[in-house]
Amino acid sequence: MEGLLDWVLRDILTRVADPARSGESVRSGGVDRCVSEFIRVSGTLLPNRAFIRVMPELLNAGRTLSGVPVAAQLLGSDPNCLAENAARVAALKPAGIDLNFGCPAKIVNRHGGGAMLLEDPALIAKIISAVRRAVPAEMPVTAKMRLGFNDDSRAEECAQAMADSGASEIVVHGRTKAHGYRPPAYWERIADVRAAVNVPVVANGEIWTVADALRCREISGCNDIMLGRGIVANPGLGWAVRAATHSSSACRVASLPSAQVAWPDLLPLIAEFWKLVSARVIRKHRAGRLKQWLNMLRRRFPEAELAYAALRTINDSDAIDAWLRRELASSVVNTLSLAAA
């Protein structure tokens, strides 16, 4: 998710602790593994610094600071160039190599990458075969796809090309490129894709709530799901889905407060997010990054609505620093007051 779920948010979201328990051992955001934003490969062998810039987790044994494994996602259309770059990044020890066949961006598709490749299953097979040969046998090579480009008529054919050429897992976003991000996601078509291949399929698309996650699993038949914008908007979603999935009464557990992350617990992570952004992003772009996340958080938290309104016209980093200090101090005071009561 270029421009949104980058390494900073991966770091922060995988620090979210299980609301039902305490301790560092349960700080993973309820997430089993992550995938980097795509690393664009176009006619050249990238230097190590290019991979590390997008995926700094390569300097931490391919894991976020909380220990969640991260796979490196490559995007391109030339099998040999992708294979060479896959071999280079594989030497840096990511958790796996993921290949992007789903990006709907016009500039990517215009150059034959992303979802455009779903028009050419034979080229998909060449890409995956080349990458599979180029990296160590023990390193997973996986693929992310949409249902198609203009329509979903070749979804099964594309997935079969991926599985037959060496992909060990396929994530399917339940929309075509033409659908963009417009609801709904067609989870029933993911079920068709799953039935057509002999490798695990992960369902993705339009999962915003626990109820969405449970319905997606039921309709798609997939045991595993991938969260994108949903976990950005609700950082407790991973833990809430886990609680519901492992309960004999999923709906009841998912509705409990303990299955959700509260704003006072999230606020320090927002402050840490701002700290990381301030250290890595040029001054004039910092405020936009924070507002982008707050804008997503408004879907779940009334407090985020207030925060967004307070900061909407502020771009000065020092003013945002001061605002965060006040909010953190106020949150501590309110917590102490509740404890005393």
The H or E element that residue 302 is part of is helix 302-311
Say whether pLDDT at 106 is over 60.
yes
Say whether pLDDT at 25 is over 60.
no
Q: Are residues 154 and 109 in the same domain?
A: yes
Q: Are residues 230 and 178 in the same domain?
A: yes
Put residue 256 in one of left, alpha, beta given phi > 0 → left and psi -120 to 50 → alpha: beta
Of 2 and 250, the one with more pLDDT: 2
Q: Are residues 314 and 238 in the same domain?
A: no
Which domain covers residue 127, as residue numbers?
Answer: 7-259
Domain boundary among 200, 233, 259: 259
Residue 102 lies in a domain: yes
CA distance 110 to 97: 24
Q: Are residues 226 and 120 in the same domain?
A: yes
Q: What is the pLDDT of residue 237?
A: 96
Q: Are residues 221 and 279 in the same domain?
A: no
**Residue of 81, 103, 158, 216 marked catalytic:** 103
Residue 2 lies in a domain: no
Q: Are residues 174 and 288 in the same domain?
A: no
Domain boundary among 259, 281, 313: 259
Say whether pLDDT at 336 is over 50.
no
Residue 341 lies in a domain: no
Residue 116 lies in a domain: yes
pTM for the predicted model, two decimal places: 0.91
The domain spanning residue 317 has which CATH number? Answer: 1.20.225.30
Q: Are residues 164 and 189 in the same domain?
A: yes
Residue 289 lies in a domain: yes
Domain boundary among 201, 234, 259: 259
Say how many CA atoms lie within 13 Å of 30 toward its Cβ: 27
Q: Are residues 303 and 168 in the same domain?
A: no
Listing DSSP states for 161-193 in one string gives HHHHTT-SEEEEESS-TTTTT-S---HHHHHHH
Say whether pLDDT at 248 is over 50.
no
State what percent of residues in the chain have pLDDT above 70: 91
DSSP 338: H
Question: What's the domain count of the chain?
Answer: 2
Q: Are residues 240 and 320 in the same domain?
A: no
- 103 noted as active-site residue: yes
Q: Where are the beta strands (DSSP E) in 18-118?
A: 34-40, 70-75, 97-101
Q: Are residues 277 and 201 in the same domain?
A: no
Say whether pLDDT at 257 is over 50.
no
Q: Are residues 226 and 304 in the same domain?
A: no
The domain spanning residue 100 has which CATH number? Answer: 3.20.20.70
Residue 1 lies in a domain: no
Segment among 103-107, 218-222, 267-271, 294-298 with least mean pLDDT = 103-107
Residue 135 lies in a domain: yes
Tokens 């609505």 — which residue? 305
Alpha-carbon 150 to chain mean position: 24
Q: Are residues 269 and 255 in the same domain?
A: no
Q: Where residue 334 falls among pLDDT bands split at 50, 70, 90?
A: low
Residue 59 lies in a domain: yes
Phi, psi for 278 (deg, rounded to 5):
-65, -30
